[in-house]
Amino acid sequence: MKLAVVILNWNGKKLLKQFLPSVIQHSKGADIYIADNASTDDSITFIKTNYPTIKIIQNKNNGGYAKGYNDALKMVDADIFCLLNSDVEVTQNWLNPVIETFKEHKNTAIIQPKILDYNKKEYFEYAGAAGGFIDKYGYPYCRGRIFDTLEKDLGQYNDTTEIFWATGACLFIKSNIFNTLNGFDEHFFAHMEEIDLCWRAKNLGYSIKYVGKSKVYHVGGATLKNTNPKKTYLNFRNSLITLTKNANGFVPGKLLIRLILDGVAAIKFLIELKPKHTFAILKGHFSYYYQLKRVLSQRKLIKNKIKYYSRTSIVFDYFVNKKTEYKSL
């Protein structure tokens, strides 16, 4: 299998300087690309000067994660794309277990490795941890991470197993499947687009796996920190869009519950004296309503919608029943 590691960059010279050496060292046999989203720093000059063998794709504008990868991957010739954040340190032998899993499980379209915290290496990292799932109302959670509670890595997730979504921080996908899905939904710009992509793959009958024998370390929030209201806005808006597009069953009922739960979250931010985040949730909802006609037209194109959840409400499990670890669910 021909594999390409594609790192999306936007003004990330500092991150490239720090993390690119590990990718080069531990990715023998793979082609490495830098897909640049119209950076205004000297990222590209740095790459050309220090790593002349790395292939560079220069996008015409900064279309965010979704459009950035959609544009760049048209220029990449490979059987497997590895979409890798620029703030990820990879480890020795991180690629082989993934390639072996693709070969052994022919219906597997997408794979995620173990994602650990770069700054606290014994703990899982927020964005993906040990593989993602989603509840009935579209709230994502992970093995190893439920909301802001992160588990310590004790080897409990060293397995290979089916998951519902893989993190965009380090996502392996067969190129023909990526093209079949028409790539990411560019309306997302950033955040949750990988969950939407995985959900659409699941609705087509493909398998998504977590491979615990492969591990990487992720800084997280290098581009947009959790404290940034824009991240809150994108997460809440894009979660609603993803749910509406892909969910089976009676969606208006699910959206009504979401409206209530998101309202509670907005009040919680207000009590915590974070009014910008409260406003971000409201803005996210209004943006969703504005796009609803288009989203419903996208929904009509998805003929087969599978049951996607095992938990009715991860919000209730976590905040009311105090189930903070995946094994307690």
Please report how the helices 193-203 and 229-246 are oriented relative to each other, as an axis angle in degrees rounded to 10.
10
Residues 6+ apart with CB under 8 A from 272: none
Helix (H) / strand (E) element for 36: namely strand 31-36
State the chain's mean pLDDT as an integer. 96
Residue 199, classified by CB atoms within 10 Å of its CB into exposed (0-12), middle (13-18) or buried (19+), is buried
pLDDT in tens, 82-133: 999 999 999 999 999 999 999 999 999 999 999 999 999 999 999 999 999 9
CB neighbour list of residue 273: distance below 8 Å, 6 or more residues apart: none
What residues contact residue 61 under an 8 Å CB cut-off, 6+ apart? 37, 38
**What is the fold of 3-218?**
Spore Coat Polysaccharide Biosynthesis Protein SpsA; Chain A (3.90.550)
Give me the residues paired with residue 150 across strands. Answer: 145
Task: Round to whole Å and give the CA distance between 44 and 19.
Answer: 15
Per-domain residue ranges for the chain?
A: 3-218, 229-305
The secondary element (H helix, E strand) that includes residue 268 is helix 251-271
Express each pLDDT in 143-156 by its tens digit. Answer: 999 999 999 999 99
Q: Which residue has the tokens 């370390």?
A: 217
Name the amino acid, one letter, at 77: D
pLDDT at 222: 56
* Residue 236 near residue 281, CB atoms below 8 Å: yes
pTM of the full predicted structure?
0.96
One-letter amino acid at 242 equals: T
Q: Name the phi and psi angles at 207, rounded to 5.
A: -100, 145
Closest CA to 265 of 220, 311, 229: 229
| Residue 224's pLDDT band (cuts 50, 70, 90) | low
Considering only CA atoms, give the Rg of the chain.
19
In sequence order, what are the beta bridge partners of 161?
A: 210
Q: Fill in the amino acid letter for 258.
A: R
* Residue 196 to residue 205: CA distance in whole angstroms: 14
Instruction: Identify the helix (H) or strand (E) that includes residue 133.
Output: strand 132-134
Q: What are the tens digits of pLDDT across the range 273-325? A: 999 999 999 999 999 999 999 999 999 999 999 999 999 999 999 999 999 99
Tokens of 326: 């995946």
Q: What token pair was written down for 31?
A: 């082609």
